[in-house]
Amino acid sequence: MFFDKCSSKKKGKGGDKTDKARRIAETMEKIEFKNYIDNLKNFNTADFVLLVVDARIPLSGHYAPYDGLLGDHLLIVINKIDLAPRESVISWFHFFNTITHTFAICAEKSIDPIIEYLENAKEKKSQLDIVITGINNVGKRTIQSKLKAAMNISPKITKPWDWVRPCSDLAAIGAIPVCAIADNRIAHARDFLSRCSIFSIMEVFGITFYSEPDVVLRIIDQKKTTAPYVLFGRLAEQKYLFYTASPSNVTEVKDISNSQKRSFYYSKTMDQHPSPFICLGSPTPATILPQLVPALEQMAAEKN
């Protein structure tokens, strides 16, 4: 396997290859790198990989390089759809469905669309090897337990995505603690608010004029240093409702399985929600930590 090639020193003229191999080996000792490689190894043997994302901010839990790596084995699961407006959920469903087969569910209530799909797959192969992956706090264990109960299979959950760069979007859904971005928490809070619809900010915070993120931070907490903690805490606890605008404008439910159509109803429409939503206009996609990039690039070179 190409995973093993960069763990040993390379022989050659001069010390360049040896030094490069040593640097790569040192990087591989990092727990983040080990988790990344372990995930890839699990994907290699799986029949299906369920990539679970949060409906409020699905692109921030979607690591795009996995799409090409996994192909048809990748199934995207948009979970917690009860926390986002139905219009947004359906739009994101159509967006991801152009990449691979996608489900939109509230795992606490039902995972019927996933079960139906996997039951059909079991007709061709009696035993399925299922791997569940994703960032923290997206409902992986709930899906795992329901698949065990319904299908008598034991899906494996991959190691945490510790190799993903911490960002404000992940703090907003509780995927990382705010202390993970503490050194730049004010900048992260400003970044998050600056990407939100001005109209939605004014509606949620009851203001008639909005010029900059600091206006909202002062409303939340007079102390600038603690306001980001309050902001991200309330977002993660659903005290401030929010969703991310989808690149897709499709909100129709034609040519979709009946189980998926029923699942959409776990998400209320915008006008059914008692409180207004903050609309995040541009999400931050999941990106790998910079210090791991050289090692991965070297691994790709070794493979080729």
- From first to last of its 304 residues, the chain has per-residue pLDDT tens of 223 333 333 444 445 656 666 665 666 567 788 888 889 889 989 999 999 999 999 999 999 888 888 888 999 999 999 999 999 999 999 999 999 999 999 999 999 999 999 999 988 787 899 999 999 999 999 999 999 999 999 999 999 898 999 999 999 999 999 999 999 999 999 999 999 999 999 999 999 999 999 999 999 999 989 999 999 999 999 999 999 999 998 888 888 999 999 999 999 999 999 899 999 998 999 998 887 777 777 766 666 6
Q: Domains of the chain: which residue ranges?
A: 1-304
Name the one residue in this structure whose structure tokens are 């001005």. Answer: 198
3-state DSSP call for residue 290? helix
DSSP sequence for 208-263: S---SHHHHHHHH-SSTTTHHHHHHHHHHTTSS-EEE--S------TT--HHHHHH
List C-alpha distances in Å: 50 to 135, 183, 225, 247.
Answer: 12, 33, 38, 22
3-state DSSP call for residue 110? strand
Cβ within 8 Å of residue 93, ≥6 positions away: 78, 102, 104, 260, 264
Tokens coding 23: 């640097």
Selecting from 3.30.70.600, 3.40.50.280, 3.20.20.110, 3.40.50.300, what CATH number does the domain 1-304 have? 3.40.50.300
Query: Nearest-CA neighbor of 102 among 256, 284, 291?
Result: 256
Tokens coding 121: 């797959």
Q: Is the backbone of residue 152 left (phi > 0), alpha (psi -120 to 50) or beta? A: left
pLDDT the model gives residue 250: 87
User: What are the φ/ψ torsions at residue 154 (nearest 5 degrees)?
Assistant: -120, 85
Pairing label, strands 74-79, 102-104:
parallel
DSSP state of 273: S
pTM: 0.88
pLDDT the model gives residue 2: 25
pLDDT the model gives residue 23: 64
Name the one residue in this structure whose structure tokens are 């995505």. Answer: 161
